[in-house]
């Protein structure tokens, strides 16, 4: 039985869109039962590759060429209006629900989304899409649209070249599509073992899914298939079941493996539905309601993520409630957008005649909004009207970190004298990370930051060492000692540690900056005192499966921290240097800087001094007691003079940069008191 033309419209494919978009909605809502729901994006990619290829091949069949102006104008009219509206509305919405501290990073996110390089932007920011704390950016989901747009930019020309070359060699177009598809599969495999973020966000590692759809479309154009209804329906059923199974957490699969499975299932499902769409699965997916949800799925995808963020984080809804409410709300907004915005633009006869001007206008409008509209909105210092902070202090149920309860009324009985939050340079405070510096054996002098006539002090650590660095630089100038630095963000100072969530290249860089550095560079620098500072990685729930000894071991997390601490301290002291370990800083349950940007009064952002020392602090104290020439110091009492209640603002300076970093300004401000602490430890005695 000969099939209908493969390029005819199939309502069942709209049904596939509906399945894809609601898998993504459920995944983003945080439902554990759909922990693989991100494969909905994979289905979108395969379907987009299939449909776009058919559009281009239709042009070739009818006109003997690809009408690039028509193609890009239709893409612009299809994608840009809704994306622009969502980007602008989202910017204004988050002006109402989040503080400027949180919104500052969204400026670049929104700009990259509007200019369609969001996937590379988020890859550069090294967001971990699969962590429990998925990035809070309301523009995160634009990464997949960016990949599609980048594909659309290149693919039509590639296809045209292959078709023209195939006039003499009929097999060349198919091979020409297979080759980049295979290369992309190789890229996916390689990146998945080196950098999971690149494997997920990289266009090179994702193109195989779009090309898989293109291959299905091209193959079905050139080959006559004979397929019974029963066989097609069996294939469609098996493919749909495979999609559902891969979308759940029932199968313990790697992310890339899920992607390969979803791509294969999607290709089979599309082929079966196009060849014989009159089976049970075809009729089900072609149902009027399901097909309509598929037709508006683009708008649903655009709206769902910012809505879920507001529902989950600002209003504290559970995953299930977020899935239901977010799904309904995004679908309703998508329906409105489809009826009153998207379809009028797509059907406009005027725009039909103005092809390249339409493309130019669309791109220009995106650029204008990205440059002139988004930044002033998101950068505004306006306090949020409704926020997670406000709700949590009034009985909210959010699972996110929340501020401490309001202080007892007696403490601030005279509200007229409560300190109000002053105007601060929020952008400068958010970016207040401190400097990083390291060197290798070929250029040891590069590690020296300040040259003095006194003892040689060396600072080693991660972002907490960066946090301390400006204070030590000032102290070095004031007290005349030499200061060197080996400071690399995200790299603990203990040797032989690997953080598995980091890309392989970053793990190697940390090893070079620690184990190799201790062996080759430390003896050449010959410091008198080594100051060690790092973020405590004590929580087994967070680091139990991600912090490992290089080469492997059977140690538990706490055993690993204890053993590597002792090993590294002994390794440093064996060179003749003394070791001074900074104890863990106070880590807040909420972001004090965000709280200050959200609140009218400073005391709403007070942080409670911890009752017990961290496990790392106990390890440091034990090392100081057992290993000669090892000392510890604690800056917490200096920056929290009012313990057990710690103010978020002291002498007009913010104390915290975020939940787990002090500001460099507050440490520099209290450098005299901290210097007395350091001297009091005896680490500098006789030097």
* Whether 18 and 167 share a structural domain: yes
pLDDT at residue 276, rounded to an integer = 82
Q: Given a cut of 70, is residue 134 above it in pLDDT?
A: no
Structure token pair of residue 599 = 């609140």
Domain ends where: 378, 402, 419? 378
Residue 605 lies in a domain: no
Q: Is the pLDDT of residue 434 over 80?
A: yes
Query: Across residues 226-243, what is the average pLDDT?
Result: 90
pLDDT of residue 35: 92
Domain boundary among 342, 363, 378: 378
Mean pLDDT, rounded, for 212-220: 93
Cα 68 from Cα 157, distance rounded (Å): 9
Q: Kindly state whether residue 571 falls inside one of the protein's structural domains.
A: yes
Query: Are residues 483 and 335 part of one domain?
Result: no
Question: What number is the average pLDDT over the span 135-155?
Answer: 94
Cβ–Cβ under 8 Å, residues 493 and 464: no
Instruction: Give CA–CA dist 20/42, Å, rounded.
Output: 8
Query: Per-residue pLDDT for 409 more than 80?
Result: no
What's the CATH number where 486 sits? 3.40.50.2300
Handedness of CA 85, 86, 88, 89 (dihedral sign): positive
Evaluate whether residue 648 is within a structural domain.
no
Looking at the predicted structure, is the pLDDT value of residue 430 above 80?
A: yes
434 with 357, same domain: the answer is: no
Sorted by sequence, the CB contacts under 8 Å of residue 62 that are 6+ apart come out as none
Alpha-carbon separation of residue 639 from 120, 361, 599 (angstroms): 39, 54, 21
Residue-level pLDDT at 417: 59
- pLDDT for residue 267: 97
pLDDT reported for residue 500: 87
Whether the pLDDT of residue 24 is over 60: the answer is yes
Give me the pLDDT at residue 415, please. 52
| 116 phi/psi in degrees, rounded to 5 | 60, 45
Q: In this structure, are 18 and 110 located in the same domain?
A: yes
Tell whether 101 and 205 lie within a shared domain: yes
Query: What are 662-680's pLDDT values in tens digits?
Result: 999 999 999 999 999 999 9
6, part of any domain: no
> Phi, psi at residue 508, to the nearest 5°?
-65, -40
Mean per-residue pLDDT of the chain:
90
pLDDT > 90 fraction of the chain, expressed in percent and rounded: 80
Band of pLDDT at residue 361, cut at 50, 70 and 90: very high
Residue 6, pLDDT score? 45
List, in sequence order, the alpha helices (H) in 338-422: 343-347, 349-353, 355-368, 374-378, 388-392
pLDDT reading at 126 higher than 80: no
H/E stretch holding 83 reads helix 68-97
Using the predicted structure, report yes or no on whether residue 418 has a pLDDT greater than 50.
Answer: yes
For residues 65 and 214, state if they share a domain: yes
Over the Cα atoms of the chain, what is R_g? 29
Q: What is the pLDDT of residue 413?
A: 39
Residues 6+ apart with CB under 8 A from 107: 374, 375, 378, 379
Residue 309 placed within a domain? yes
- Average pLDDT (305-328) is 90
Does residue 133 carry a pLDDT above 70? no
Structure tokens at 374: 């988004």
Q: Domain total for the chain?
A: 2
Q: What is the dihedral of CA 68, 74, 79, 85, to 10 degrees?
A: 120
Q: Judge if 541 and 675 occupy the same domain.
A: yes
Cα separation, 1 vs 143, in Å, equals 42
Whether pLDDT at 566 is above 50: yes
Q: Give the whole-angstrom CA distance, residue 138 versus residue 306.
A: 5
User: pLDDT digit string (tens) for 571-630?
Assistant: 999 999 999 999 999 999 999 999 999 999 999 999 999 989 999 999 999 999 999 999
Q: Clarify whether residues 293 and 437 are in a common domain.
A: no
136 confidence band (pLDDT: 50, 70, 90)? confident
The residue with greater pLDDT, 59 or 213, is 213
Strands 653-654 and 656-658: unpaired
At residue 406, the pLDDT reads 35
Residue in the block written with tokens 């309601």: 289
Say if residue 215 is in the same domain as residue 124: yes
pLDDT at 114 over 60: yes
What is the predicted pLDDT for the residue at 317? 87
- Phi first, then psi: give them for residue 57, nearest 5 degrees: -70, -35
Domain of 553 in residue numbering reads as 427-585+614-635+668-681
Query: Which pLDDT tens digit goes with each residue over 477-487?
Result: 999 999 999 99
Higher pLDDT, residue 530 or 252 = 530
Prior bond to 176 cis, omega within 30? no
Q: pLDDT value at position 223?
A: 67
Q: Give the pLDDT of residue 250.
A: 87
Q: How far apart are CA 264 and CA 261, in angstroms?
A: 5
pLDDT at residue number 392: 40
Answer with the one of 378, 394, 415 that is the final residue of a domain.
Answer: 378
Q: Look at strands 578-582 and 630-633 and give their pairing.
A: parallel
Beta strands in 324-465 (DSSP E): 448-450, 456-461
252 vs 657: CA distance, rounded Å: 38
Q: Is 21 helix (H, G, I), strand (E, B) or coil?
A: helix
Q: Is position 262 within any domain?
A: yes
Structure confidence at residue 166 (pLDDT): 82
CB-based contact 640:610 (threshold 8 Å): no
Structure confidence at residue 636 (pLDDT): 96
Average pLDDT over residues 212-224: 86
- Choose the weakest-confidence range: 4-18, 125-139, 222-236, 492-506: 125-139
Whether residues 502 and 353 fall in one domain: no
Share of the chain above pLDDT 70, in %: 92
Give pLDDT tens digits for 478-530.
Answer: 999 999 999 999 999 999 999 988 888 889 999 999 999 999 999 999 999 99
Q: Are residues 337 and 461 in the same domain?
A: no
pTM of the model: 0.89
- Residue 599 placed within a domain: no
Residue 416 lies in a domain: no
How far is Cα 279 from Cα 15, in angstroms, rounded to an integer? 14
CA 390 to chain CA mean position, Å: 25
Asked if residue 443 and residue 374 are part of one domain, the reply reads: no
Mean pLDDT, residues 164-173 taken together: 83
């Amino acid at each position: 039985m000969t099939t209908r033309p493969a390029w005819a419209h199939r309502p069942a494919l709209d049904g596939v869109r509906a399945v894809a978009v609601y898998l993504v909605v459920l995944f983003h809502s945080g439902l554990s039962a759909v922990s693989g729901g991100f494969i909905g994006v994979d289905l979108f990619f395969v379907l987009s590759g299939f449909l776009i290829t058919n559009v281009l091949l239709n042009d070739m069949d009818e006109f003997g060429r690809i009408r690039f102006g028509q193609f890009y104008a239709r893409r612009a009219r299809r994608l840009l209006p809704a994306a622009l509206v969502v980007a602008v509305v989202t910017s204004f919405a988050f002006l109402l629900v989040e503080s400027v501290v949180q919104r500052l990073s969204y400026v670049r996110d929104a700009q990259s989304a509007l200019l369609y390089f969001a996937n590379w932007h988020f890859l550069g920011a090294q967001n971990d899409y699969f962590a429990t704390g998925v990035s809070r950016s309301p523009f995160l989901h634009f990464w997949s649209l960016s990949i599609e747009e980048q594909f659309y930019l290149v693919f039509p020309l590639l296809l045209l070249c292959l078709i023209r070359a195939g006039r003499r060699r009929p097999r060349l177009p198919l091979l020409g599509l297979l080759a980049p598809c295979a290369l992309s599969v190789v890229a996916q495999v390689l990146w998945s073992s080196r950098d999971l973020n690149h494997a997920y966000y990289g266009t090179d590692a994702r193109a195989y899914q779009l090309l898989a759809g293109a291959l299905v479309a091209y193959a079905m154009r050139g080959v006559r298939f004979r397929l019974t209804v029963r066989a097609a329906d069996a294939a469609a059923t098996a493919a749909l079941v495979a999609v559902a199974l891969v979308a759940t957490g029932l199968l313990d699969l790697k992310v890339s493996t899920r992607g390969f499975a979803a791509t294969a299932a999607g290709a089979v499902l599309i082929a079966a539905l196009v060849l014989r769409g009159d089976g049970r699965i075809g009729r089900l997916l072609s149902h009027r309601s399901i097909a309509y949800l598929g037709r508006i799925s683009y708008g649903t995808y655009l709206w769902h993520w910012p809505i879920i963020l507001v529902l989950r984080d600002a209003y504290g809804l559970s995953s299930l409630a977020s899935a239901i409410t977010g799904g309904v709300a995004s679908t309703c907004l998508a329906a409105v957008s489809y009826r009153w915005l998207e379809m009028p633009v797509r059907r406009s006869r005027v725009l039909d005649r103005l092809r390249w001007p339409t493309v130019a206008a669309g791109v220009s409008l995106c650029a204008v909004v990205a440059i002139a509209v988004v930044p002033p909105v998101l950068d505004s210092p306006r306090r949020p009207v409704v926020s997670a902070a406000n709700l949590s202090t009034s009985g909210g149920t959010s699972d996110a970190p929340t501020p401490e309860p309001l202080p007892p009324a007696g403490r601030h009985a005279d509200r007229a004298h409560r300190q109000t939050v002053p105007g601060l340079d929020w952008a400068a405070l958010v970016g207040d990370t401190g400097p990083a510096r390291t060197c290798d054996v070929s250029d040891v002098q590069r590690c020296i930051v300040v040259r003095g006539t006194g003892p040689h002090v060396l600072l080693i650590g991660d972002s907490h060492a960066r946090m301390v660095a400006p204070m030590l630089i000032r102290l070095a100038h004031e007290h005349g000692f030499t200061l060197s630095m080996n400071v690399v963000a995200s790299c603990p100072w203990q040797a032989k540690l690997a953080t598995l969530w980091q890309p392989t290249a970053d793990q190697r860089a940390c090893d070079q900056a620690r184990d190799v550095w201790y062996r080759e560079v430390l003896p050449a620098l010959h410091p008198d005192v080594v100051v060690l500072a790092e973020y405590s990685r004590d929580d087994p729930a967070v680091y139990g499966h991600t912090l490992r000894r290089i080469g492997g071991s059977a140690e538990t997390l706490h055993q690993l921290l204890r053993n590597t601490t002792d090993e590294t301290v002994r390794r440093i002291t064996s060179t003749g240097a003394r070791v001074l370990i900074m104890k863990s800083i106070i880590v807040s349950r909420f972001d004090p800087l965000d709280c200050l940007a959200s609140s009218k009064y400073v005391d709403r952002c007070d942080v409670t001094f911890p009752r017990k020392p961290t496990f790392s602090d106990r390890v440091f104290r034990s090392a100081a007691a057992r290993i000669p020439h090892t000392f510890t110091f604690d800056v917490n009492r200096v920056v929290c003079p009012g313990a057990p209640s710690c103010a978020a603002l002291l002498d007009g300076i913010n104390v915290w940069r975020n939940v787990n970093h002090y500001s460099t300004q507050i440490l520099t401000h209290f450098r005299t008191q901290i210097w007395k602490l350091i001297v009091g430890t005896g680490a500098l005695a006789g030097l």
